Amino acid sequence: MKKNMVPIIVLIIIIALFAGSVSATNNTNGVSIQKVVQKNLIDSGSNKFYWGERGGLFAYTWKTYKTSNGVVVQVHYKTINNSWYSTYSITKLTSSKLKIVETSPEVKLYSGRSSVTSYAKTSLTPVTYYWKNIRPQIKSDGYFFA
């Protein structure tokens, strides 16, 4: 049951983040969804460089959000001819293992599956792992590997 909930939770987060005109509020406390999501933003940035195999200028921006069970990193990639989003969900499985799930059109194109799951053997929390391992990789070339 929990395994089936992860894609649903990620989908809900993505919808809430990209719906700029969302005006829905939580009836229990009157706080808008956008304000809650923005409060959980822990990092954002952008970079661009010339990358021949991507068709010239390759630019990307990223935003990282802390969730109740880990971290969600959203990267928006742009080339001259194309634009797409990738979402990385990082959650703690055990005291020594993190689960990283990538969802993007590239994953679908190259693997035929909607997402790819990898694991990192570390005792770090998802937030600490993001700052020490993932962010430097994303900052340099837009991608990262567990």
pLDDT of amino acid 8: 59
Pairwise CA distance, residues 88 & 10, whole Å: 9
Q: Is residue 72 part of a domain?
A: yes
Pairwise CA distance, residues 57 & 129, whole Å: 29
Pairing between strand 56-67 and 70-78? antiparallel
Q: Is residue 35 part of a domain?
A: no
For the chain, what is the domain count? Answer: 1
Domain range for 93: 42-141
Sign of CA dihedral 76, 139, 63, 11: positive
pLDDT of amino acid 94: 93
Q: Is residue 116 part of a domain?
A: yes
pLDDT of amino acid 58: 77
Q: Is residue 27 part of a domain?
A: no
Q: Which two tokens stand for residue 46?
A: 């952008």
pLDDT by residue, tens only, the chain of 146 residues: 555 555 555 555 554 444 433 333 333 333 344 444 556 888 888 777 666 665 577 788 889 999 988 999 998 888 777 888 989 999 999 999 999 998 888 888 888 888 899 999 999 999 999 999 988 888 877 676 66
SS3 113: coil
pLDDT of amino acid 66: 93
Q: Is residue 131 part of a domain?
A: yes
Q: Is residue 118 part of a domain?
A: yes
pLDDT of amino acid 79: 79
Sign of CA dihedral 107, 93, 74, 68: positive
pTM of the complete model beyond 0.75: no
Q: Is residue 30 part of a domain?
A: no
Pairwise CA distance, residues 67 & 5, whole Å: 14
pLDDT of amino acid 100: 93
Q: Is residue 23 part of a domain?
A: no
